[in-house]
Structure 1
Amino acid sequence: MTFSICVREEYEDDGDTQYRFGVAVTTRLPGVGTLCPFVSEHGAVATQSLVNVELGRKGVEYLGDGLAVEDALDALLNADDGKPERQLHGVGADGEFAFSGDECGEWFGDLVGENYTVAGNLLTGESVIEAAAAAYEDGDREEPLAKRLIDALGAGQAEGGDKRDDLEVQSAAVKVATTEDREFDPYYDDLRVDASTEPVQDLRETFRLASEGQETVLEKYAEESEE
């Protein structure tokens, strides 16, 4: 039903090493943002195929407790009777993990790269996740991670995406978190399009509007502060 990407990035903030984590997902069903993507300052997880929301919730919780992503997600899968129908992947502070059960819908598979994972099921083919991975790898690190993750979804969608073209109502979501102590999180770091015929395109437009809105708010309150 889905393809998604999870990433970890290291960056410097005032001389301190920080990490950002992000996850983006799209599917040919409504409301994917309520079920599949999970993120915190400790990692990012996507649960899909026959979704078990607890795998995502507990996954990021276990990462917050200090477990390695492989240990956390593998333990959750091994305790799950529905493991053959699950697809679960993600990144933690120092590792990556991806699993696709044998009973996920064709085509299904996953890909693990340096600091990221991509997975999908019921896709037109392997090129979908390969395109998403390539778009992320080639992205401009000066741009916000949320934008680059949406671009990765767009690249996968352009390769065919979810093969169920008889389902018109679709959805997409992106979430980003960081270890940085920020005064407030950017508006565009948690966005969802719950029901649309063009969810990735609409998510990109939502990102643009959220970015403009944030700039407007910052300018407004900067002017009021000066006055």
Structure 2
Amino acid sequence: MEYVVPLIIVLVIVVVVVVGARLLGRRNQAAQTTEPGIDQAGAPVKAPRGNRQITRETAQEASARLTPETHQRVYALIAQHQVLNAVKEYRKATHMGLGDSAAAVAALAEFPQPTPEPLPEPVLPSNDAPLTVEDIMKAAPPIKAAVPNAYRYRAIVSQGDEVREVASTRLNAEIYAQIRQLALAGNYDGAARLLRDHADIGVAEAQEFVSMIGPED
């Protein structure tokens, strides 16, 4: 029951607008022989209040506010003589007032308008488009600069037919000279510890290496 009174009001507005438009059209036809803006008695004609005239132009403006989908829904309701629902649909689609929506529906019913063309969809770049050099450079992982091989110092000792070799980037002639001096002085533990500090070698392997250091090495 709460919707009955508003619907009746909308219906009355639509009827009044349609009837008023037809009466206004008849008066305009009768006044075509007179000057614009002056009636047959010579008095100036007042312009109608508001923008609720039922003309082809107002119908075009009312149609332009709709999308193709809402345009079809409004005209479907008009074709089914569901004027109140058509007004509600138009008002929902355009957020206009009740009176303006009723006048717009009346204009659309009086001057039928074609369905507006949908807006063209934006053209997106195709995935098959050829890649540019910049695209390839951006997608490629960064190239690391080649690091030259660091110099590996080779220390070689021999005892009879046995030969031992230690190679390391942390060794050099000066450090090996210190290792050799410690070994020749009989400090094999200190020589092995210094060798392990500058080469990736185990304890037993380091001790065996320094024990083979002789005066000629």
| Superposition TM-score tier, normalisation by shorter sequence | under 0.3
Q: Which has the larger radius of gyration?
A: 2
Q: Structure 2 length normalisation: TM-score?
A: 0.25
Q: Structure 1 length normalisation: TM-score?
A: 0.24
Which structure features the higher share of strand residues? 1
Which structure features the higher share of helix residues? 2
